[in-house]
Amino acid sequence: MAADPALLEVQDLTVSFGKVRAVENVSLSVGQGRVYGLVGESGCGKSTLAYALLGLVAPPGRIVSGAVRFRGQDLARMSYRELRRLRARHIAVVFQAAMSAFNPVISIGAQVEHILDAHPGVYPSHQAGREYFEELLRLVRLRPEQVWRTYESRLSGGMKQRVAIAFALLLKPEVLVLDEPTTALDVLSQRLVIDIVRDLHQSLDTTVVFVTHDLAVVAELAERVAVMYAGRLVESGTVEEIFFDDRRHPYVKALISAMPSVAADPARLRPIPGQVPDLSALPPGCRFEPRCALAVPVCPLVEPELVVTASGHAVSCHVVNSGLGRDGGQ
Amino acid sequence: MASFLAKRLALALVTIYAVVTLTFFMVRLMPGNAMSYLEAQLSQQGGLTTQQIAAKVQEAYGVQPTGPLWHQYLSYLGNAVHGNFGTSILDPGKTVLSVVAGALPWTLLVVGLALLISFAIGVIIGTLIAAFPQSMLAKIATGVVSFLAAVPNYIIALVLIYLVADQEHLLPASGPYSLTTTPGWNVSFISSVLQHALLPVLSYVIVAFGSWALTMKGSVSTILGADYVRAGEARGLSRYRVTRSYIGRNAMLPMVTNLGLSLGYMFGGSVFIETFFVYPGLGYYLVQSVNQRDYPVMMGCFLLITIAVVVSNLIVDLAYPLVDPRIMSPGRARQTGLTVSGRAAEAQTADPAGRPAA
Amino acid sequence: MKFLRDLWRICRADKPALIGAIVILIYLAVAIIGPFATHVGYQKNPALAYLPPSLKYPLGTDFLGNSVLSELIIGTRPIMEVGILAAVMVVTVGVTVGLVSGYRGGVMDQVVMRITDVFLTIPGLPLVIVIASIVRTTSPFALAAILSVTGWAGLARAVRSQALSLRTSDFIDAARVQGLPLRNMVARQLLPNVGPYVAIHFLLAVTDAIYAEVGLYLLGVAPISGTNWGIMLNLALSQGALYTTQSALYLFSPMLAIVFLQVALVYFSRAMDRLFNPRLRVQ
């Protein structure tokens, strides 16, 4: 399989919110130092999956089955103490819409101190930690004196997003998870964030997992991509495979065609008809079938298997996979 | 920061001034007003010249009944600043000031204790209900406090008196302390004081803790779902830290804002509680003087109750920045070079879902 | 109207609110019909005093020999009359002041808000007692006016902040561009937005007014005329009802009458809160 050892591995993970399965039987592996993109529409479960990577499933959600392994250790089985040591130190997250990711009544600097308090082994002194944080602030193009003593209400949305990135990198984690890093930002801020993430990945060799519905960001940043639909993983592969390969899931193909291009003829825009299914009333077979142009009689009856080729390109579709053996060979 | 302080102080002074003025007008101008009443009474008695009547009235009210109105007003203000509010009509030897000054500590004691206790209980119960919303405890507690918060506190007081009518020695239902002890810093006096304060405080607390609990529950429930709480957990902070600085501090904000309003209600409720328990506080004397037509004392009590409320509101206002440091003066923001989003502490007025104690 | 259908749906789900609504309706009915259905005399009739409950006197009799139940029924109207009147006054003044001040803004707004702050801080009940003792009145209107002397301030403040935030909203700008007069702006643009909040506050204002009103009679500050729950309690207390069990019904019946109405109003106001605040419905 992949040549690099998997740093982060998700095995058959299922996360439920009561009767609704937000994530169902998803498996993927993130290699060390890679940039991994999680793509899908709103409500497809990608955010839930991303938070599960930190053991941070928001109640009333719970992990019903499967495992999330960081360096071989299953997060779902760890105690709160062990998770605490893991979080921010080894795996860090930047929340979607950092608008409310900061405690409103405590200054930004004080919140940094809280992190340093909670992870005493990382820096020899608070001063050292603060200096590194200020370096990070400069990396994200912010002035340290603007940020340390202020409260979050005085920062703009774009600024908060960048401060959030600095927070996430403070303890030099191996994995950085970003949930919708460019959504709700103006175009200039989006550009800035993309550049920052790329620079950081190159200079610090951090493993990056980011969740987005914006395929343009995927095209710019990702090396490997996983596409989710209605809670299931429908395709995963390299970014070239996702964008150009012949053998792709119909949903992925349709997504790419739905992207408007500045240069192309607007008449060629082709949206995907239909709607995302209701997660509490799922059909037994393929979930994309009602909207799929390639559907055949077996599709709504049997859940398609995820078939992986030798290069690691996995697709879950009856039609596209027909003609392939179980191991992906012809 | 300084301008915030100054504004609040100015408001307090203006309010006190307004009340003093209001009192003057009620004394002098309202229909059936007190001074004319006294004048009529004295002249009916006979045997006094008009000057003597005028002098007596002035002594009682601290205001000359004759002369132009603005003159009376100014002399009233002058007297007020010196603490001269006249003398009691019923007991001419006593100045109004001595009566109300003696009554104030008792009201402060009962209201203060009641507020502390009901606040503390409310915080605990409200937090528990919010933390375990599906539990039996939560459902019972919510039902009970929803009911109790709607009951008038004087009814609770009457029920309590009715129930303990036979237990005078254990649960005294009248007086501030037992007559067998001597006032002073000794154990028997202090314990007697506390014993006598028990039922009055209980009357407040039974009704009030429910409102605090409901407010706290609403506050904590909202905060629990906040992103920054999850962000705190995501950063590996300890449960203690998250509970204290991320959930706790933010949940307390609306509670502190309601403190001021609640104090106003509680001082108001003292007129009932103190009357029924024959507890010599400001409320008691207010009602007594009303029923005895002793208007100078009545005005004095009203004035002092209002001043007590204004001052305690001021204290709460000044303490608020300690809980919510976002109240900063524009000058501070200029230092950091950012524009001010200017969050002022708009005192939350009666929130329908969480009314403070009535 | 959709509003009524929503209200019905919430009441069905929220039992306390439904009970509250029914209880309020019962009280209203009693208030309106009461004086026609029964009557109370003021002559002392020792032979009939403090009788235990029976078919003729379901709640027993008082010290004058009157049926306690009759007194309760007759006493409902004055209490509710004044309560509702006071709430109407509070809401009218509060909303008007808040809307106009918030919408106009500027110096006038600042001045009005300072005045409102002063009224907000002055403790209402002592002021009411003082005024009521000087202006001894039995007119329901005057009494209601006295009761509402500070109550409007809280509502004014809240409505004003609503008006302030609405003032800068787009649809107000659109209306202004069309040149609509102030009257129209206030009535048709702003009012519907503050409506829900005002409705809830109205119910709570009724509870506050009843609390204060009964309290006034209870303390003997308001002149005694006719009969109502507060007067019943006052007379019961002066007859020493607290210390014997003989007149327990006479003492507790008005108390229960008051408590049931207050609780019903508060529960119902919570349903209204849920009606207008869909977030709360999930709970």
Per-residue tokens: B44? 């009916």
Going by C-alpha positions, the residue among B287, B265, B267 that lies closest to residue B278 is: B287
The rounded mean pLDDT for chain A is: 84
pLDDT for position A134 = 93
pLDDT for position B337 = 27
Could you identify the residue written with the tokens 């200096």? A131
Q: Is the pLDDT of residue C87 over 90?
A: yes
Per-residue tokens: B210? 């429910």
Q: What is the largest CA-CA distance in chain A?
A: 66
Shortest Cα distance, chain B CAs vs residue C128, angstroms: 10
Could you identify the residue written with the tokens 């509670």? B255
Q: Residue range C36-46: average pLDDT?
A: 73
Per-residue tokens: B13? 């002074």
Distance CA A110, CA C255 (A): 54
pLDDT for position C277 = 65
Long-range pairs for A242-248 at CB < 8 Å and ≥24 separation? Answer: A242/A218, A243/A219, A245/A313, A247/A309, A247/A313, A247/A315, A247/A320, A248/A315, A248/A320
The residue with greater pLDDT, A276 or C96, is C96
Beta bridge partners of B87: B95
Structure letter (DSSP) for residue A23? E
Q: Which amino acid is at A320?
A: V
DSSP character string of C186-237: IIIIIHHHHHHHHHHHHHHHHHHHHHHHHHHHHHT-SPP-S--HHHHHHHHH
Per-residue tokens: B105? 């500590």
Going by C-alpha positions, the residue among C213, C250, C230, C263 that lies closest to residue C69 is: C250
Going by C-alpha positions, the residue among A51, A57, A70 that lies closest to residue A11 is: A70
pLDDT for position A47 = 83
Chains C and A touch (3+ CB pairs under 8 A): no
Phi, psi (deg, nearest 5) at residue C40 = -130, 135
Q: Is residue A103 within 8 Å of B245, Cβ to Cβ?
A: yes
Q: Is residue A222 within 8 Å of A35, Cβ to Cβ?
A: yes
Going by C-alpha positions, the residue among C173, C187, C160 that lies closest to residue C101 is: C160
Residue ranges of C 225-244 with Cβ closer than 8 A to chain B: 233, 237, 242-243
Q: Is residue B214 within 8 Å of B126, Cβ to Cβ?
A: yes
Distance CA A146, CA C69 (A): 72
In A87-126, DSSP assigns E strands to 91-94
Given an 8 Å threshold on Cβ–Cβ distance, is B235 in contact with A56? Answer: no
Q: Is residue C17 within 8 Å of C11, Cβ to Cβ?
A: yes
Q: Is the pLDDT of residue C197 over 70?
A: yes
Q: Is the pLDDT of residue C282 over 60?
A: no
Going by C-alpha positions, the residue among B26, B1, B45, B5 that lies closest to residue B306 is: B26
Shortest Cα distance, chain B CAs vs residue A298, angstroms: 43
Q: Which amino acid is at A298?
A: V
The rounded mean pLDDT for chain C is: 82
Shortest Cα distance, chain A CAs vs residue B325, angstroms: 6
Size of interface A-B (CB pairs under 8 A): 93
Q: Is residue B102 within 8 Å of B122, Cβ to Cβ?
A: no
pLDDT digits (tens, 9 = 90+) for A268-320: 666 777 777 777 777 788 888 888 888 888 888 888 888 888 888 888 888 88
Given an 8 Å threshold on Cβ–Cβ distance, is C134 in contact with B353? Answer: no
Q: Order of strands across the sheet with A20-31? A: A20-31, A6-17, A61-70, A73-74
pLDDT for position B274 = 92
Q: Is residue B219 within 8 Å of B122, Cβ to Cβ?
A: no
pLDDT for position B345 = 25
Going by C-alpha positions, the residue among A209, A222, A214, A186 that lies closest to residue A41 is: A214
Shortest Cα distance, chain A CAs vs residue B125, angstroms: 22
Question: Which residue among A58, A92, A105 sits closest to B325, beta carbon to beta carbon?
Answer: A105
Identify the band that residue B113 occupies on the pLDDT scale cut at 50, 70 and 90.
very high
The residue with greater pLDDT, A275 or A125, is A125
Q: Is the pLDDT of residue B302 over 80?
A: yes
Least CA distance to B218: which residue of chain C? C280
Could you identify the residue written with the tokens 């920054």? B228
B26 in contact with chain C, both atoms CB, cutoff 8 A: yes
Distance CA C274, CA C11 (A): 10
Distance CA B202, CA B157 (A): 8
Given an 8 Å threshold on Cβ–Cβ distance, is A84 in contact with B325? Answer: no
Distance CA B239, CA A66 (A): 26
Q: Order of strands across the sheet with A207-212? A: A91-94, A175-179, A207-212, A35-39, A224-229, A232-238, A314-316, A306-308
**A139-143, A153-157, B158-162, C35-39: which has the minimum mean pLDDT?**
C35-39
Question: Which residue among A105, A114, A155 sits closest to B241, beta carbon to beta carbon?
Answer: A114
Whole-angstrom CA distances from B79 to A53, B96, B109, B346, C141 are 74, 12, 29, 35, 36
A325: helix, strand or coil: coil
Beta bridge partners of A14: A65
Q: How many CA atoms lie within 13 A of B50 on its CB side?
A: 3
> What share of chain A in percent tops pLDDT 70?
93
DSSP H or E run through A226: strand A224-229
B337 in contact with chain C, both atoms CB, cutoff 8 A: no
Q: Residue range A25-48: average pLDDT?
A: 86
Per-residue tokens: C272? 């209204």
CB burial readout C107-134, b (16+ within 10 A) else e: eebeebbebbbbbbbbbbbbbbbbbbbb
* Neighboring chain B residues of C207 at a CB cutoff of 8 Å: 150, 358
Distance CA B227, CA A223 (A): 29
Q: Which amino acid is at B231?
A: A
The whole-model pTM stands at 0.80
Q: What angle do CA C125, C127, C130 make, to 5 degrees?
A: 110
Residue ranges of C 98-157 with Cβ closer than 8 A to chain B: 114, 117-118, 120-127, 129-131, 133-136, 153-155, 157
Q: Which amino acid is at B121?
A: I
Residue ranges of B 228-267 with Cβ closer than 8 A to chain C: 264-265, 267
Q: Is residue A39 within 8 Å of A215, Cβ to Cβ?
A: yes
Identify the band that residue A5 occupies on the pLDDT scale cut at 50, 70 and 90.
low
Could you identify the residue written with the tokens 């405890």? B137
pLDDT digits (tens, 9 = 90+) for B271-300: 999 998 889 999 999 998 888 878 788 888
Q: Is the pLDDT of residue C1 over 70?
A: no
Helices and strands (H and E) in chain C: how many: 13, 0
pLDDT for position A146 = 86
> What share of chain B in percent tops pLDDT 90?
14
Identify the band that residue C2 occupies on the pLDDT scale cut at 50, 70 and 90.
low
**A75-79, B3-7, B266-270: which has the minimum mean pLDDT?**
B3-7
Q: What is the largest CA-CA distance in chain C?
A: 77
B271 in contact with chain C, both atoms CB, cutoff 8 A: yes
Residues contacting residue A149 through CB under 8 Å, at least 6 positions apart: A107, A108, A109, B336
Chains that touch A (3 or more CB pairs under 8 A): B
Question: Where is mean pLDDT largest: B30-39, B67-76, C80-89?
Answer: C80-89
Distance CA B232, CA C66 (A): 67
- The angle, 0 to 180 degrees and rounded to 10, between the axes of the packed helices C68-104 and C191-219 is 140
